[in-house]
């Protein structure tokens, strides 16, 4: 595009020579050439620095690997590939026989355990009532025995030795029966002593396992995490899907903002700022310009980053050639929906410095867009 500026200056100089009838000699031609070098050079340098341009731009697409939370054999796969899916639409299903059987078994165990707990609670209540009954009988025999024992100490004993002996035997028998009843009550309480959050521990454990089994059963149906697309679906019924993070079954591309990532020269970093206006042209949409704005200038150059590896590292010479990454949000235009994510583009950013030079950049960018009508690589 710099050639266009040079040709424009040559045409302008030729017109000035003809209009003002300036003679062509050894003084005028070098003056025009030197003046052209100075003027064109200043314009190009000022435009490139204050209104940077790059051909390294791309409409980004962030993909989401779909990995099932449970393993199983795929029994159904969606046929809506390359079509807009809504959040919650089914992507594929796994055979749920094993997970459903596990859930049914746990629910049956829960019902059996709840019945067992109710039986033990009834036994506890019966043991408690039995203790009260035996204790009442124990109190009666104790009082009788005390009455007989007191009579035996009197000068004239109103009771016979046989009556006293019988009362003593009754008291001892009820004492033993009370101990047995209390022991049975303690055993019944110990059988119901394990609690968690006010609930029988076995029931709480089974409910927790049922919640996990229910979750696993629900995870046999894999749904779209948001509005978006699936493409290049290679999974088929009969394929085994496993819970491995590095082995996704398919790739989901969520609907996302119209966003372009551009890589500018490092020389332009002082002139790139959030909020600057930008224009983008796409190879797939020749002759059209799309506006936007800079939303972020990334604070790091990827090729200049380092990680601990246990060995000494030198400087990455590629970092000198790498540029500054800039995020650009495009204005909503229906034509952009025709473009697949990931297409290449060229973009220019217009800063508030020397705004009159931005006219040259806009003209050059439109020339670039028109050139997309040509297929020079064939």
Domain-wise residue ranges, the chain: 1-50, 52-61+256-303+319-378, 64-94+222-254, 98-215
Report whether 85 contacts 230 (CB < 8 A): yes
Element (H, E) at 50: helix 28-50
Give the end-to-end CA distance of the chain in Å, rounded to a whole number: 21
H helices present in 192-226, as ranges: 201-218
291-324: b (≥16 Cβ within 10 Å) or e? ebebeebeeebeeeeeeeeeeeeeeeeeeeeebb
Report whether 329 contacts 292 (CB < 8 A): yes
Output the pTM of the full model. Answer: 0.64
- Residue 189's pLDDT is 67
List the one residue out of 344, 282, 70, 104 whose CA is nearest residue 210: 104
For the structural domain made of 64-94+222-254, what CATH number should be given? 2.40.50.100
**CA distances to 2, 232, 242, 256, 322 from 61, in Å:** 32, 15, 26, 8, 21
| CA atoms of 77 and 75, how far apart (whole Å) | 7
- Phi/psi for 63 (5° steps) reads -100, 155
Question: At which residue do the structure tokens 């980004």 appear?
Answer: 60
For the structural domain made of 52-61+256-303+319-378, what CATH number should be given? 2.40.30.170
- Residue 212's pLDDT is 93
Per-residue pLDDT of the chain (378 residues; tens, 9 = 90+): 566 667 776 777 777 777 777 777 777 777 777 877 777 777 778 887 888 999 899 988 888 888 898 999 999 998 888 888 899 999 999 999 999 999 999 999 989 888 877 777 777 777 778 778 877 877 777 777 677 666 666 655 666 667 667 767 777 787 787 787 777 777 766 666 566 666 777 888 888 999 999 999 999 999 999 888 888 788 889 888 888 777 888 888 888 778 899 999 888 888 888 999 999 999 888 888 999 999 998 888 777 777 777 777 777 665 556 788 999 999 888 888 778 888 889 999 998 888 888 888 888 888 888 888 887 665
Q: Where are the beta strands (DSSP E) in 298-363?
A: 324-330, 344-350
- Residue 81's pLDDT is 83
Number of Cβ atoms within 10 Å of the Cβ of 149: 14
């Amino acid at each position: 595009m710099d050639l266009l500026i040079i040709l424009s200056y040559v045409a302008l100089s030729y017109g000035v020579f003809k209009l003002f009838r300036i003679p062509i000699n050894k003084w005028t031609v070098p003056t025009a050439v030197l003046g052209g070098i100075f003027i064109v050079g200043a314009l190009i340098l000022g435009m490139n620095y204050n209104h940077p341009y790059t051909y390294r731009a791309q409409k980004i697409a962030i993909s989401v690997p779909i990995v099932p939370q449970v393993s199983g054999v795929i029994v159904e796969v969606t046929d809506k590939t390359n079509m807009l899916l809504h959040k919650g639409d089914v992507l594929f299903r796994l055979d749920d026989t094993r997970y459903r059987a596990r859930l049914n078994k746990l629910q049956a165990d829960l019902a059996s355990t709840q019945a067992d707990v109710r039986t033990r609670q009834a036994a506890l209540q019966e043991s408690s009532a039995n203790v009260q009954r035996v204790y009442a009988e124990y109190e009666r025999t104790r009082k009788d025995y005390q009455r007989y024992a007191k009579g035996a100490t009197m000068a004239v004993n109103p009771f016979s030795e046989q009556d006293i002996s019988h009362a003593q035997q009754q008291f001892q028998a009820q004492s033993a029966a009370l101990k047995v009843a209390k022991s049975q009550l303690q055993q019944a309480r110990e059988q119901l002593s394990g609690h968690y959050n006010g609930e029988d521990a076995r029931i709480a454990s089974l409910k927790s396992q049922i919640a996990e089994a229910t979750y696993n059963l629900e995870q046999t149906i894999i749904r779209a995490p948001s509005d978006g697309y699936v493409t290049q679906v290679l999974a088929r019924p009969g394929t085994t899907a496993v819970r491995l993070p590095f082995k996704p079954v398919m790739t989901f591309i969520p609907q996302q903002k119209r966003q372009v990532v551009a890589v500018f020269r490092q020389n332009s970093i002082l002139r790139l700022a959030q909020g600057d206006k930008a224009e983008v042209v796409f190879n797939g949409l020749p002759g059209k310009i799309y506006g936007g704005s800079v939303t972020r200038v990334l604070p790091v150059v990827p090729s200049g980053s380092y990680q601990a590896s246990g060995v000494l590292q030198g400087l990455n010479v590629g970092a000198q050639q790498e540029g500054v990454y800039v995020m650009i949000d495009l204005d909503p235009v229906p034509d952009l929906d025709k473009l697949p994510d990931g297409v290449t583009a060229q973009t220019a950013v217009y800063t508030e410095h020397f705004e009159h030079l931005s006219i040259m950049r806009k003209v050059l960018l439109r020339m670039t867009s028109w050139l997309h009508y040509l297929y020079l690589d064939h």
